[in-house]
Each structure stands twice: as C-alpha cells, then as structure tokens.
Amino acid sequence: MAVLDELTTRGGPASAPADRVRARPALLLLPALVLLLAFFVYPVLTMVWRSLTDPEPGLGNFGWFFTEPANLRVLARTFTTGLWVTLITLALSYPYAYAMTAAGQRGKAVLTLLVLVPFWTSLMVRTFAWQVLLQDTGVVNRALALVGLGPAHLIRTETGVIIGMTQVLMPFMVLPLYAVLSGIDLGLVRAARSLGARPVVAFLRVYLPLSMPGLAAGALMVFILSLGFYITPALLGSPTDALLSQQIFTQVSGLLRWGRGGAMGVVLLVATLVLIGLATLAQRRPARRRGTS
C-alpha cells in the first residue's frame, strides 16, 4: 500500500492534485465530528459541569456521594453485582467457547448463532420476557419445583438481575475467548500429557495460561458493561437493591437533583474509563513481553 502511494504521488505535475486529494478525505469526518461534539461531548460535559456547580459551585455533590453510607452501599452493590455477573459469565463461557473450538463446522455455526441471539434481541423485549419467565408462577419456577429445588423467589431479587445481565453479556465473553482458544496449539497440551502431567495439571499449567489474553479481555469487557446497566436491574431487580444507574435516574428524573445525579454519573464514567485504561495496558504488556524474550 505504501509503495503504491509513493508511486502515485511521485513525479512533478501529479503531486499538486495528489496533495489536494489527500487533504480532502479528512474533511469527510467533519459532519460526524460536529454531530458528536454537539450531541455527545457537549451533553456529557454538561453533566460534569452540573455535578460541580449545582446547586452551588464546589465539590459538595462528591462530598455528599462519598460520605452518605447509602451511596457507598449502592456503589459496592454495583461492583459486587458486576463481579458476580463476570464470574458466572466466565464459568458458562469458558466451556462453551472450548466446545466451539472442538466442534465441527456445523456445530460451530450453531453455537455461534445461539450466542449471538441475545445480541440482537431488543433489550426491552428480552427484559420483558425474563419478567414473565422468572415470575413466581413462571416456567423457571415450575421447572425448579419439578426437580425439587423450588419454588424460589427470583423476580425483584438480585438473582433475577444477575440472570438477566449474564444472558445478554455472554457474547462479549464468548467471542474474545473463542478467538484466543481457537489459536491454541493442542499439541502443547498433548506434549505435557506425554511428559507425565495429569489432565488437570496440563490444563492449569499449559492451556489456561495460554487462554489468559482472551479471558482477561472478555472479563474486563463484561465487568465494564455491567456497571452501566439500567433497564435490566430496574425491571428485574428490587427498588431497595438499586444499582448506581437507577440511583442516577432517581436523582435526576424523580428528585431533580441534577448536581447529585451528575456527580454519580461522573463516578460511573470515571470508573468505566479507568477500567478501559487498565484493559488497554493489560493487552499491551503481553505483546511487549513476547517481543523482548
């Protein structure tokens, strides 16, 4: 590509129009950037500004957020829910992604299709369906009763929220895991086995470390996305177990406390950005290590 560019831009008369051609493509970004500045960057900055100025200038809203025990409980609950969702998603996705690598062409296609279904089932439709499935007289409870485990109270509990969130976040874990697992040379595992390693040891010492990049990428993505969920906890959870997004909604929409809602929004945004920064760093480091060793 670079060679071609050089070939086409070299030479006397061609170079002047070539410069013009090159300057123009970047201008095509202008409409998108103007739209994003006006309807994305400006609104988000407005929220940050409100958190610092409403009702009066200063850090009062952040002081309120970090000293009120109820808020800290919400923050802690948001993180623990995210952690549970990440762990369960991982536990379900690891064998699933492994099966995708072991399956034949058709099996792999079916498994991929299934895991993509939650991706494009409308969020509202999916949450509504979980509400029906998880209700006290719903199918899930009747199935649980059949095997002697139920009836359990699922709707309007943290369990219900975790079930609903895990289902929709599966693709974000399965796809990066599959990308890494499908590249692992199973000959390495066989070599470990032939050298006398028990299956468990071969898995823990060879396969698992090799799958770490996909595992870390998927887990971080799921955790980050889980922090911002609003609809699922609002409809499947209980109002007394509210997560950060719900509290923001209540502050702004119900109580018109723009400053407080904004401060909570800033906390959520900063947590998200810090985690994304960590994810980027974590992805860069293994590459460097490989490069030097």
Partner 1 sequence: MRLARGALWVFCGLVGVWLVAPALIVLPLSLTSQASLVFPPRGWSGRWYANFFHDASWIGAFWTSLQVALLVTVVATVIGTAAAIGLTRGQGRGLVAANALILSPMIVPGIVFAIGSYATFLSLHLVGTLGGFVMAHTVLALPFVVIPVTARLRGFDRRLELASASLGAGRWATFGQVTLPLVAPGVLAGALFAFVTSFDEVVVSLFIQSPYLQTLPVKMYSSVSRDTDPTIAAAASMIIVLTTVLVLVASYLTVRRSRVR
Q: Decide: residue 253, CB within 10 A, 0-12 exposed, 13-18 middle, 19+ buried.
A: exposed
Question: Any contact of residue 172 with partner 1 (CB under 8 A)?
Answer: no
Residue written as token pair 């739209």 = 35
Residue 104 φ then ψ, to 5°: -75, 180
Q: Which of 196, 276, 181 is nearest to 228 (CA)?
A: 276
Q: In this chain, which stretch among 68-76, 148-156, 187-195, 266-274 interacts with partner 1, using CB under 8 A?
A: 266-274
CB neighbours (10 Å) of residue 225? 17
Q: Which of 10, 15, 42, 188 binds partner 1 (CB under 8 A)?
A: 42
Distance spanning both ends of the chain, measured CA to CA: 31
Stretch that binds partner 1, among 19-27, 55-63, 188-196, 283-291 (CB under 8 A): 19-27
In 3-state terms, what secondary structure has residue 63? Answer: helix
Length of the chain: 293
Query: How far is the CA of 61 from the CAs of 68, 172, 266, in angstroms?
Result: 11, 34, 11
Q: Which two tokens stand for residue 34?
A: 């103007």
189 touching partner 1, by CB under 8 A: no
Q: What 3-state DSSP class applies to 130?
A: helix
Residue 90 lies near partner 1 (rule: CB under 8 A)? no
Choosing from 10, 15, 40, 66, the residue that interacts with partner 1 (CB under 8 A) is 40
Q: Is 164 or 213 the residue whose CB approaches partner 1 more closely?
A: 164
Rounded least distance, CB 137 to partner 1, Å? 8
Exactly one of 36, 149, 208, 274 binds partner 1 (CB under 8 A); that residue is 36
Nearer to partner 1, 213 or 258 (CB): 258
Among 11, 13, 25, 104, binds partner 1 (CB under 8 A): 25
Interface positions, 101-130, toward partner 1 (CB under 8 A)? 102, 110-111, 114-115, 117-118, 120-130
Q: Find the binding residues for partner 1 in span 125-144 (CB under 8 A).
A: 125-133, 135, 137-139
Only segment of 59-67, 152-160, 228-236, 282-290 that touches partner 1 (CB under 8 A): 228-236
Q: Using CB under 8 A, which of 77, 230, 241, 282 touches partner 1?
A: 230
CB-nearer residue toward partner 1: 126 or 217: 126
Choices 154-162, 184-192, 204-212, 263-271; region in contact with partner 1 by CB under 8 A: 263-271
How many residues bind partner 1 (CB under 8 A)? The answer is 78
DSSP state for residue 147 in the 8-state scheme:
T
Give the Cα separation of 22 and 255 in Å (integer): 52
206 contacts partner 1 (rule: CB under 8 A) = no
- Residue 167 interacts with partner 1 (CB under 8 A): yes or no: yes
Going residue by residue from 242 to 261, which x/- string records binding to partner 1, judged by CB under 8 A?
---x--xx--xx----x--x
Q: How far is the CB of 217 from partner 1 (least distance, A)?
A: 14
Cβ atoms of 65 and 76 within 8 Å: the answer is no
Residues 6+ apart with CB under 8 A from 87: none
Q: How many CB atoms lie within 10 A of CB 125?
A: 9
135-159 burial: b if 16+ Cβ within 10 Å, else e: eeebebbeeeeeeeeeeeebbbbbb
